[in-house]
Amino acid sequence: MLEMTYAQAINAALREEMRRDSTVYILGEDVGVFGGCFGVTTGLLEEFGGQRVLDTPISETAIIGSAVGAAAAGLRPVPEIMFMDFMAVCLDEFFNQAAKMRYMFGGKAKVPVTLRTACGAGVGAAAQHSQSLEAWFTHMPGVKVVMPSTPADAKGLLVASIRDDNPVIFIEHKVLYGLSGEVPEGEYVIPLGKADIKRKGSDVTVVATAMMVHKALAAAQTLAGEGIEVEVVDPRTLSPLDKDTILASVAKTGRLVVVHEAVKNSGFGGEIAAIVAEEGFDYLDAPIMRIGAPFTPVPFSPPLETAYIPDENKIIAAIKEIL
């Protein structure tokens, strides 16, 4: 095991896959000379050169559109969209082109693009640089959606994403970039579509994503002191979703809280709640609780932003409400 940050783990995955497969290349704004807006691609230009680590103009449409064309023509691009909010600028290229190509062409195309992007509030970046928009992409047949919460998961899931023949959106949480953790040495691949139980417990299941995994773990720690055992499930991949692990956990605990940083309305938590209501209704001893951000844009001023992001106290309150 090696101790490294979430950003370093992503960097290691990129480096290893680029060494392993010459068709893997990186493109995006500031990914080369600058080393990435968050430093994630540091040192890659030096190792792989300008043919494989390409600084692009501020042209999200061309970044994703060209990556999709190159993927159809035999390469394995890993484009970076600096902030997830900018996906609104290049949605057609991902949604109407990459996601649908295989199906529209009767199964005769593959588009192995791994789109890396940074989501999340908590750094004072305000309404256009802080959103968690994963639910846009879980609504797209043909796309896989990955959202790692730890350095080890980030590495193993990114390697799997790059090797996957489908378009993948790999959503990194910007507050997690500096988080340190242990990462297995050498080749490390986590299959897409497998959830991870981050903490075992018997009283209530909390399904949480990205930054919220850590808030849920903090809540579980606090509640353990009160004799309440919380099981924290991190789906890691939202599409395809490992519903078996979630249902098995709810079968054991009889209670479910879903928490994400995205706005609660039409968020992915609704999908998880609906699946459990449809397929695990008999397991439930209490109503399902959903926690998400309020239905507002992400605010700038620190007290407002703090109030916007779901926290440990909200998770504890929701758990206590259904116990």
Partner 1 sequence: MALTKEEMLAMYEKMLLIREFEETVANVFSQGQIPGFVHLYVGEEAVAVGVCSNLGVKDYIASTHRGHGHGIARGASVNKMMAEIFGKIDGYCKGKGGSMHIADVELGFLGANGIVGAGLPLATGAAFANNYLKNNGVAVCFFGDGASNRATFHEALNLASIWKLPVVFVCENNMYGISMSQKVHQNITDVSDRATAYGIPGLTVDGNDLMAVYEASAEAVKRARAGEGPTLLECKTYRHRGHFEGDACVYRCEDELNQWKKKCPIERFAARLLEMSLAEQDELNVIKEQVKEQIKGALEFARQSPLPDVTELTKDVYCD
Among 46, 47, 92, 182, binds partner 1 (CB under 8 A): 92
For partner 1, the closer of residues 28 and 269 by Cβ is 28
Q: Which residues pair with 231 in a beta bridge?
A: 205
The interface region with partner 1, picked from 6-14, 117-125, 163-171, 305-313 by CB under 8 A, is 163-171
208 phi, psi to nearest 5 deg:
-135, 155
**Catalytic residue set:** 129
Task: Give the residue among 213, 144, 139 at the shortest CA–CA distance from 175.
Answer: 213
Query: Minimum distance from CB of 47 to partner 1 (Å)?
Result: 17
Question: Measured on CA atoms in the order 147, 150, 151, 157, is the torsion positive or negative?
Answer: negative
Please tell me the distance from the alpha carbon of residue 29 to that of residue 64, in angstroms, as a whole number.
Answer: 12
Among 1, 57, 282, 303, binds partner 1 (CB under 8 A): 57
Among 69, 122, 254, 297, binds partner 1 (CB under 8 A): 69
The interface region with partner 1, picked from 39-47, 93-101, 206-214, 285-293 by CB under 8 A, is 93-101
Q: What angle do CA 275, 276, 277 make, to 5 degrees?
A: 90
Q: Which two tokens stand for residue 230?
A: 């919380």
Binding footprint of partner 1, residue count (CB under 8 A): 42
Query: Minimum distance from CB of 166 to partner 1 (Å)?
Result: 5
Please tell me the distance from the alpha carbon of residue 308 to that of residue 263, in angstroms, as a whole number.
Answer: 9
> Which residues, numbered 165-204, are part of the site for partner 1 (CB under 8 A)?
165-166
Do the beta carbons of residue 284 and residue 255 sit within 8 Å? yes
Exposed/middle/buried for residue 118 (C-beta within 10 Å: 0-12, 13-18, 19+): buried
Q: How many CB atoms lie within 10 A of CB 199?
A: 17
The interface region with partner 1, picked from 136-144, 208-216, 228-236, 297-305 by CB under 8 A, is 136-144
* Distances 12 to 40, 42, 49, 199 between C-alpha atoms, Å: 9, 10, 16, 26
Please tell me the distance from the alpha carbon of residue 300 to that of residue 111, in angstroms, as a whole number.
Answer: 37
Binding status of residue 78 toward partner 1 by CB under 8 A: no
Among 1, 141, 185, 282, binds partner 1 (CB under 8 A): 141
Among 30, 39, 66, 251, binds partner 1 (CB under 8 A): 66
Binding status of residue 71 toward partner 1 by CB under 8 A: yes
Query: Minimum distance from CB of 252 to partner 1 (Å)?
Result: 30
Query: Minimum distance from CB of 51 to partner 1 (Å)?
Result: 7
Q: Which two tokens stand for residue 102?
A: 């295989």
Q: Coil, helix or strand for 165?
A: coil
The interface region with partner 1, picked from 7-15, 58-66, 148-156, 242-250 by CB under 8 A, is 58-66
Sheet bearing 237-239, strands edge to edge: 53-55, 24-28, 76-81, 114-119, 168-173, 144-146, 237-239
For partner 1, the closer of residues 110 and 199 by Cβ is 110
State the residues that interact with partner 1 by CB under 8 A.
23, 25, 51, 54, 56-57, 59, 61-62, 64-75, 77, 92-93, 96-97, 101-110, 141-142, 144, 164-166
